[in-house]
Amino acid sequence: MFDDLDDGPRIAVWTVLGVVAFLLFGLLGGLALKTLGAKTQAAAPAAVTAATAGTAVTVIEELLIDEPLAGEVAGTLYFELGSAALPADAAAVVEAIKAAAAAAADRRLVISGFHDASGDPAKNAELAKERAKAVRAALQAAGVDAARLALRKPESTTGSGDDRQARRVEVRIAP
């Protein structure tokens, strides 16, 4: 008689334990998949294909490294206020950077854009990034292997009092 009364609470306990275990494994599995997905996205740049006037164009998402400035400066380009167009002396500086890159053939080049703290920070950072991209394109056109070129996150700077210091792009040979 007492055995029949014990079955109800025992079934309820096992049901609750089963539901808790199911939720726990579901939560852990979801977190594992999310972590795996994040690692996969960080490992390779995302490619997006867009149709433009009947042709497919592949756009590669920019990966910007975030590491401290290190290594010797191979060259510095100073840009005009509000412009990402290469300066007039760019060809000579690009050639000097290319020569320094050839001398350090086993090391990568880190391209860093700088901006000042005045105005809209997001707009300034985007301009510094566009300037760094322009320098990267000039180096690639000069024959520097694209695999050796890395863009560093734009950095705000006060410079040394000279306004040009805030509108510069430095190319460093990574240690």
User: pLDDT per residue over 120-141, tens digit each?
Assistant: 888 988 999 999 999 999 999 9
Q: Residue 34: is it exposed, middle or buried by C-beta count within 10 angstroms (0-12/13-18/19+)?
A: exposed
Q: What is the pTM of this model?
A: 0.61
Q: Going along the chain, which residue ranges are E strands?
A: 47-52, 55-60, 64-65, 72-78, 109-115, 149-156, 168-173
The pLDDT score that the predictor gives to residue 9 is: 77
| Domain spanning 64-173: CATH 3.30.1330.60 | yes
Longest dimension (CA), the chain: 99
- pLDDT of residue 44 exceeding 90, the answer is no
Q: Where are the domains of the chain?
A: 2-44, 64-173
Dist CA 47 CA 61 (whole Å): 6
